[in-house]
A and B are shown apart, each in its own frame.
Chain A
């Protein structure tokens, strides 16, 4: 079955860096756009970034542009999110999700991984 498993979350100080990974299985990873979405504790959902199936096209939310970098390795069926200059407001559960609909922005998210918690605190 289709499965997405995130890893790499943890506690980091403000200004620090963290790299999240998402391992995909059960589908042809290289055929799909992928995305990161986050959810602050007790809050709603916020889209973070998209990457096209080949990795050639990337989009970011304004809140993370210039600080976060999305990438993928289709040979390893893996999605990544490099997070630099982290702020307290980046504290959230980060989900990776498959985006089956097509080119940006015409995409919903299905399925989602279980999420990994990133806490930015001194």
Chain B
């Protein structure tokens, strides 16, 4: 069974800075079947990226996804105040599985 490890656990940054979040799989993820979600406190997760690099409808272009195989990255080019949240990756090449999350907090 694939295990997804997200790092760092917490990222402390200031608005305007660049955020780089990592999602590492214990086995290769088929066909880059990887998604990213954003979750704010008390809210449901929101899809940001699917297929490792395709932005979901309505997602600003400051969010980008990259990677393949076992290493994937979500990059937020310039953090806006509304971007401080928890981010989850999910693989769907086999039974759906989520990573443990990365919290992006205000420094």
Given A101-B92, A106-B33, A108-B90, residue A115 in contact with residue B44 (CB < 8 A): yes
Partner of A110, one of B47, B95, B96: B47
CB of B35 within 8 A of CB of A108, answer yes
CB of B47 within 8 A of CB of A111, answer yes
Contacts of A107 in B (CB 8 A): 92, 96
Q: Which residue of A lies closest to B97 (CB)?
A: A47
Interface residues in B32-51 (C-beta closer than 8 Å to A):
33, 35, 37, 43-47, 50
Q: Nearest Cβ distance between residue A37 and chain B, in whole angstroms?
A: 8
CA distance A44 to B43 in the complex (A): 13
Q: Which residue of A lies closest to B94 (CB)?
A: A105
CA distance A45 to B43 in the complex (A): 13
Asked if A32 is at the interface of the complex by the 8 Å CB criterion, the answer is no
User: What residues of chain A have their CB less than 8 Å away from a CB belonging to chain B?
Assistant: 35, 44-47, 50, 59, 61, 95, 101, 105-115
Task: Write 21 A-B pairs (CB below 8 A) sorted by A numbering.
Answer: A44-B98, A45-B98, A46-B98, A47-B96, A47-B98, A50-B96, A59-B95, A95-B44, A105-B94, A105-B95, A107-B96, A108-B47, A108-B50, A109-B37, A109-B47, A110-B47, A110-B56, A111-B46, A111-B47, A113-B44, A115-B44
- A47-B98, A105-B33, A105-B94 known; 17 other A-B pairs, CB under 8 Å? A44-B98, A44-B100, A45-B45, A61-B95, A95-B45, A101-B50, A105-B95, A106-B33, A106-B92, A106-B93, A108-B47, A108-B90, A108-B92, A109-B37, A109-B47, A112-B45, A112-B46
